[in-house]
């Protein structure tokens, strides 16, 4: 089943924060986050593995709650370049490889 | 490291024609994936190669679709007797056995008229 992302869309002013959530009904091994700009390929942001770790670089971080099968992406002090559609890709248990099922997407627009 | 490349970037074809797309993964990556993405949706998994072996194929992939990775390097995706419903962006991604990150190519946008 496709993971569900929320919200579907967010509009921010530059410098504001945002949280994007990804929920799955299946047990997960990993969650991958990507950002995609219109007409371009998805760009890898980060991966979280089973174990509930939190990761981050620069002003983007993420967490993975394996008990709830949920991941959240945190965007702090947003920049114009953060605009795009964010997808989570989930990997189930025992797939043997990173067969990702992507979420419904969250459109983020950062305005000046 | 030149990243994942795909060719062509755009393809317009008439219904019923055959098309073939090529993907060149990052050179040291032995895992290769094909995805399809339609407007407003996330990528959908189509098939997976580990080296030259095609290890999984989605039920989305009808028998009109075939993919190869003959020497474990580049891969081709062929669609026979194209239909309008095949219009989409076809994305290729690669990863290594040591890490989990999948890196995507720029995609081939297919339009079937």
- In the predicted model, is pLDDT for residue A54 greater than 80? no
Helix (H) or strand (E) holding B78: strand B75-79
pLDDT of residue B78: 97
- In chain A, the percentage of residues whose pLDDT exceeds 70 is 95
CB contact under 8 A, A105 and B41: yes
Nearest to B64 by CA among B16, B110, B13: B16
Residue-averaged pLDDT of chain B: 93
pLDDT of residue A67: 87
- In the predicted model, is pLDDT for residue B113 greater than 60? yes
- In the predicted model, is pLDDT for residue A16 greater than 60? yes
Nearest chain A Cα distance for residue B14, angstroms = 22
Label residue B1 by pLDDT band (50, 70, 90): low
Nearest chain B Cα distance for residue A98, angstroms = 7
Nearest to A97 among B41, B48, B91 (CB): B48
For A55-97, the DSSP string reads EEETTEEEEEETTTTEEEEEE-S--GGG-EEEEEEEEETT-SS
Nearest chain A Cα distance for residue B91, angstroms = 8
Nearest to A40 among B44, B56, B106 (CB): B106
Helix (H, G, I), strand (E, B) or coil at B84: helix
pLDDT per position as a tens digit, B71-101: 889 999 999 999 999 999 999 999 988 877 8
Decide if A40 touches B, using CB distance below 8 A: yes
- In the predicted model, is pLDDT for residue B62 greater than 90? no
Say how far apart CA A43 and CA A9 lie, in whole Å: 19
- In chain B, the percentage of residues whose pLDDT exceeds 70 is 99
Nearest to B45 among A96, A99, A104 (CB): A99
Within 8 A of A35 by CB-CB distance, chain B residues are: none
pLDDT of residue A96: 67
Nearest to A98 among B41, B43, B102 (CB): B102
Q: Which residues of B touch A (CB under 8 A)?
A: 4, 31, 33, 40-45, 48, 50, 55-56, 91, 95, 100-107
Nearest to B37 by CA among A19, A40, A7: A40
**How confident is the model over A7-34, as a mean pLDDT?**
94
CB contact under 8 A, A32 and B102: yes
Say how far apart CA A35 and CA A31 lie, in whole Å: 14
Burial class for A46, CB neighbours closer than 10 Å (0-12, 13-18, 19+): middle
**How confident is the model over B36-49, as a mean pLDDT?**
93
Say how far apart CA B5 and CA B71 lie, in whole Å: 17
Label residue A52 by pLDDT band (50, 70, 90): low
Label residue A93 by pLDDT band (50, 70, 90): confident
Label residue A1 by pLDDT band (50, 70, 90): confident
């Amino acid at each position: 089943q496709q993971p569900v992302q929320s919200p579907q869309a967010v509009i921010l002013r530059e410098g504001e924060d945002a949280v994007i959530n990804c929920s799955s009904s299946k047990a997960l091994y990993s969650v991958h986050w990507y950002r995609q700009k219109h007409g371009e390929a998805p760009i890898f942001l980060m991966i979280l593995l089973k174990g509930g770790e939190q990761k981050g670089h620069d002003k983007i971080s993420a967490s993975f709650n394996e008990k709830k099968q949920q991941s959240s992406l945190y965007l702090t002090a947003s920049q114009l370049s953060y605009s795009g559609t964010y997808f989570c890709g989930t990997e189930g248990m025992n797939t043997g490889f990173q067969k990702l099922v992507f979420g419904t997407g969250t459109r983020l627009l950062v305005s000046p | 490291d030149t990243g994942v490349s795909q060719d062509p970037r755009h393809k317009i074809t008439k219904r019923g024609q055959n098309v073939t797309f090529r993907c060149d993964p990052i050179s040291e990556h032995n895992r290769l994936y094909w995805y399809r993405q339609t407007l407003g949706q996330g990528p959908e998994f189509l098939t997976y190669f580990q080296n030259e072996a095609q290890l999984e194929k989605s039920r989305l992939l009808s028998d009109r679709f075939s993919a190869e990775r003959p020497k474990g390097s580049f891969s081709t995706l062929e669609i026979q007797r194209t239909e309008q419903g095949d219009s989409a962006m076809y994305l290729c991604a690669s990863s290594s056995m040591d890490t989990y990150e999948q890196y995507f190519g720029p995609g081939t946008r297919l339009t079937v008229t």
